[in-house]
Amino acid sequence: MKKAVILAAGEGQRLRPFTVTKPKAMLSIAGKPILQYVIESLEQNGIREIVVVVGYHREQVFDYFGTGEQFGVEISYVVQERQLGTAHALAQAKNAVKGEFILLPGDNLIDGETIAKFIASHPDAVLVKAVDNPSRYGMVIADGGLVKSIIEKPAEAESNIINTGIYVLSHRIFEYIDERLDIPDVLNGMLEAGHSLHVQETRGTWLDVVYPWDIVRLNDAVLHRITARLGGTIEAGVMIKGQVFIGKDTVIRSNSYILGPATIGENCEIGPNVCIMPSTSIGNNVVISPFVAIENSVIGSDVNIGPASIVQNSVIDHGCVIKGHFNACSGEAEVKIGDEWHTVDMGIMLGADCRLGNSVVTQPGTIVGNYCEIQPMKLVSGTLPDRSHVY
């Protein structure tokens, strides 16, 4: 196996507000875009010729990955102008691949071990995994190592074995796409035509991000495998325990306490007297003022959090400026995404470039869109659309 195709054109509407400003594949988990984990997994397995199908906010993928040289791979791009489905996305790569290739989603967290054995499979083959909630995915019915059918989001799950969206394919799949928009439909068509589709199960890492709070879950999973490195400047009286990564030119001021796993990016100023608890990721160029406590949260780059603030089980996107005494405590809440209601334990999901005044309190389960402004001393709950102003 020498070549890979990665599908990274989608938006991920259920992940708003975070996917308003970036494609789903570029969501940051533990300091890196999801797509980077996929590319690194391929490189670890010796697959360095990669075609990336881009579409929504594609300029961000171009700018970050370029030709792939810094990641040890060669990346070429094809564009899906309209995001009509996974098969339609793959069809755009027809002239960019020859022979056999591995196809992967660019918006799922995949590590090298997950695909290590699978890349030796003969086409056509699908990688499957046992999960607790199969109704969210495509259920795979198999017998004797061969797929019988793939059922998308079944109302009643007959099996907990689901389709990961990772395939080893031959070029003949392009003959069956026709007007079909999604790859499972194409594969079912191939089965009906008499072709065999092999199946292989993995127990490796394969994590999907569907809803905003899934970012926190994936961040926690990745952080438990980081390698500690203490860059920058660490002042006297700082206590660091566990696996903690600190980037260059970052300053950790005196009497701060950091309990890993945690990662802090480059050129940050943390403290003094800041408490960072496990499963927290902090981006680059972040300022965390004194007496702030952060736990199990993802803080984007270029964020400024004022003094005496509390952030739990939350995601704060890039560019936000939050004044002092901000309180985003976590708790159980009913949250509506589209037409779906979910019971989750979370703090706030805060979009990019928001401005929050002093002493703002957000109730558990609050979702605030991008470019919002909230005046001081406000209690916020529910969901606020982009560019909201709370006076």
Per residue in 89-110, pLDDT (tens digit) is 999 998 888 889 999 999 988 8
Task: Write down the pTM of the prediction.
Answer: 0.90
Q: Give the pLDDT confidence score for residue 154 in this predicted structure.
A: 66
Q: Determine what percent of the chain is predicted with pLDDT higher than 70.
A: 99
Interval 152-197: pLDDT, tens: 776 676 777 888 889 999 988 988 888 888 888 898 888 888 888 8
pLDDT at 5: 95
CA–CA separation, 223 and 344 (whole Å): 21
Confidence label for 124 from pLDDT (cuts 50, 70 and 90):
confident
Q: Provide the H-helix boundaries in 175-288.
A: 183-192, 214-223
Domain spanning 222-390 has what CATH number?
2.160.10.10
Quickly tell me which residue has 């050129």 as its tokens.
267
Say how far apart CA 28 and CA 298 lie, in whole Å. Answer: 9
User: With contact defined as beta carbons under 8 Å apart, do 185 and 192 qualify?
Assistant: no
Measured between alpha carbons, how far is 297 from 299 in angstroms, rounded to an integer?
6
Q: What is the dihedral of CA 67, 209, 117, 8, to 10 degrees?
A: -30
Task: Give CA–CA dist 38/47, Å, rounded.
Answer: 11
The DSSP secondary structure of 157-217, one letter per residue, reads: -S-SEEEEEEEEE-GGGGGGTTT--SHHHHHHHHHHTT---EEEE--S-EEE--STTHHHH
Q: How far apart are CA 375 and CA 34, in angstroms?
A: 34
**Per-residue confidence (pLDDT) for residue 34, from 0 to 100:** 94
Is residue 168 a contact partner of residue 162, using CB atoms and an 8 Å limit?
no
- Phi then psi dihedrals of residue 250, to 5 deg: -90, 140
pLDDT, tens digit (0-9, with 9 covering 90-100), for 238-254: 999 999 999 999 999 99
Tell the residue number behind the tokens 């950091």, with chain if given.
Answer: 258
CATH architecture of 3-210: Alpha-Beta Complex (3.90)
What are the CA-CA distances from residue 206 to residues 34, 341, 358 (Å)? Answer: 11, 25, 40
User: Domain limits of the chain?
Assistant: 3-210, 222-390
DSSP secondary structure letter of residue 290: T
What are residue 158's phi and psi, to 5 degrees?
-85, -15
Asked if 26 and 33 count as a contact pair (C-beta separation under 8 A), the reply is yes
Over the stretch 333-362, which tens digit does the pLDDT of each residue have?
999 898 889 999 999 999 999 999 999 999
To the nearest whole number, what is the mean pLDDT of the chain? 91
